[in-house]
Amino acid sequence: MSVPGSFDGPGWLRSHVNMESINVPAGSRRGPPTLARISTLMQYLGSPETEFPAIHITGTNGKTTTVRVLTELLGALGFKVGAYTSPDLERVNERMAIDGVAIDDDAFAEMLYAVSLVEQSVGVDPSYFDIVTAAAFRWFADEAVDVAVVEVGMGGTWDATNVVDGRVAVVTNVSIDHVEYLGPTREEIAKEKAGIVKPGSTLVLGETDPGIQSIFDGHGAARVLVRNVDFGVSRNILAVGGRLVDIRTPAAEYPDVFLSLHGAHQADNAAIALAAAESFVGAPLPFDVVAEALANVQSPGRLEIVGRRPLILLDGAHNVAGALALRAALDEEWSEGPRTLVVGLLREKEPHEILTALGIDALDGPLVCCRPPSPRGLDPALVAKAAVDLGLAEERIEIVDRVEDAVSAALLATPPEGQIVVTGSLYLVGAARSLLIS
């Protein structure tokens, strides 16, 4: 398809409602949750979502990493793998990739133009996420992927990705997050996430709370695999550059596998991905395939090391469960040396809860509070106030509005033998990553 030179794809995309940034252009309207808009786009694009089998992934934390591991596993088996994730860290193109390579600008413009023609001809009013999702599925179909690994944007039932018929449905876990959209309790959140489970599918359930697990019953899955019952991690120890793990699945055992990700929680994500890959292919995976994939996997912005002397870690711990996992990883692997914490949160997050989970009471270095580069960014002064409420001295806190100033302040305040941890919103993490590895 030829894209007219006058078509400004990025500008056209940004003109649409974007709930991630609360960008609501004048005249836009929204009603109750619905899949009507994305379904209309799919219909007039030729139903590309039906052209490939899908593994559909939801959960509060660990979704993107699970997609990354699954992409490595399936790629090592020889599949051509499409991966759809959100949000992006640095560029929207990151959200859709084939065999680990993000869509290039020309192909992305072509996909956006195709969606824009549907919008003009049919009069549908899609959101930013609807458009990017439709573009990804059209691209996957055009490129004839063997399988698409699709991450839910938020929830499940009403998420635009839920037009795919996931042969395998994955739920990593269920914690409190996005309460303004999904509800204030884990039970309500689980009900929304259960909406991705299609009749006849296999459900790989990473959530271990029996009370929450029961919510996923009755959704028509032909088979349910439960973590710590049907699959799981039997050994998970610290190793240089990652973890050494033993993983068991219904089909096989995989001992002494090196996982090139930091944090004990990442072993659970790897086990979930391995169970999902086995479910998709209907057989155990060769040990060498698993060893290769887990040794090669990378998950940017998730306990990612981007500097040394001082050690600089990026982690998008944007909710309490994520912050607790980050604190556990820091305590296990990087307990030595003074630590500078750079924190930026979105407005809907409660700073006292996040800072407590991060272990602000044990912080031995400065705290830099920064506004994430998003219209939803929380005033960093409120984060600083929460830190003071929790007992951190005011003279140890610096408040900045710009990410580049936060990075500079942290570098100036941290000795070579120390560490800098940038965390909170993925918008903050992505902007810091652009500065630190450019």
Buried b (16+ CB within 10 A) or exposed e, 196-221: bbbeebbbbbbbeeeebbebbeebeb
User: Which residues, at least 6 apart from 205, have a Cβ–Cβ distance to it below 8 Å?
Assistant: 171, 213, 216, 224, 225, 226, 227
Spatial contact of 359 and 325, defined as CB atoms under 8 Å apart: no
Q: How far apart are CA 337 and CA 322, in angstroms?
A: 23
Question: Which residue reads 């028509």 in tokens?
Answer: 220
Report the CATH number of the 9-296 domain: 3.40.1190.10
Question: What is the structure's pLDDT at 173?
Answer: 95
Any idea what the Cα angle at residue 193 is, between residues 83 and 147, rounded to 5°? 25
What pTM value is reported for the model? 0.94
Number of H helices, E strands in the chain: 15, 17
Q: How distant is the alpha carbon of residue 366 from its chain centre? A: 28
pLDDT at 179: 63
List, by residue range, all CATH 3.90.190.20 domains of the chain. Answer: 304-437
Q: Residue 301 contacts by C-beta under 8 Å, 6 or more apart in sequence?
A: 89, 314, 315, 316, 426, 429, 430, 433
For the beta carbon of residue 63, count every other beta carbon within 10 angstroms. Answer: 22
DSSP tag of 177: -
Integer Cα distance of 339 and 351 in angstroms: 19
CA distance linking residue 425 with residue 335, whole number of Å: 23
DSSP 8-class letter at 370: E
**pLDDT for 22:** 65
pLDDT in tens, the chain (438 residues): 789 989 999 999 999 988 877 644 444 445 567 899 999 999 999 999 999 999 999 999 999 999 999 999 999 999 999 999 999 999 999 999 999 999 999 999 999 999 999 999 998 999 999 999 999 999 999 999 999 999 999 999 999 999 999 999 999 999 876 666 677 788 999 999 999 999 999 999 999 999 999 999 888 999 999 999 999 999 999 999 999 999 999 999 999 999 999 999 999 999 999 999 999 999 999 999 999 999 999 999 999 999 999 999 999 998 999 999 999 999 999 988 899 999 999 998 999 999 999 999 999 999 999 999 998 899 999 999 999 999 999 999 999 999 999 999 999 999 999 999 999 999 999 999 999 997
Query: What distance in Å separates the CA atoms of residue 100 and residue 270, rounded to the nearest whole number?
Result: 17
The span from the CA of 68 to the CA of 201, in Å, is 21
Every domain of the chain with CATH number 3.40.1190.10 lies at: 9-296
Superfamily of domain 304-437: Mur ligase, C-terminal domain (3.90.190.20)
All residues at 6 or more sequence positions from 53 whose CB lies less than 8 Å from its CB, including other chains: 146, 147, 148, 167, 280
Distance CA 239, CA 288 (A): 19
User: Phi and psi of 359, rounded to 5°?
Assistant: 85, 40
CA distances from 214 to 27, 209, 219, 224, 272 (A): 42, 9, 11, 11, 18
| β partners of residue 342 | 368, 422
Enumerate the H helices of 265-319 as residue ranges: 265-281, 287-296
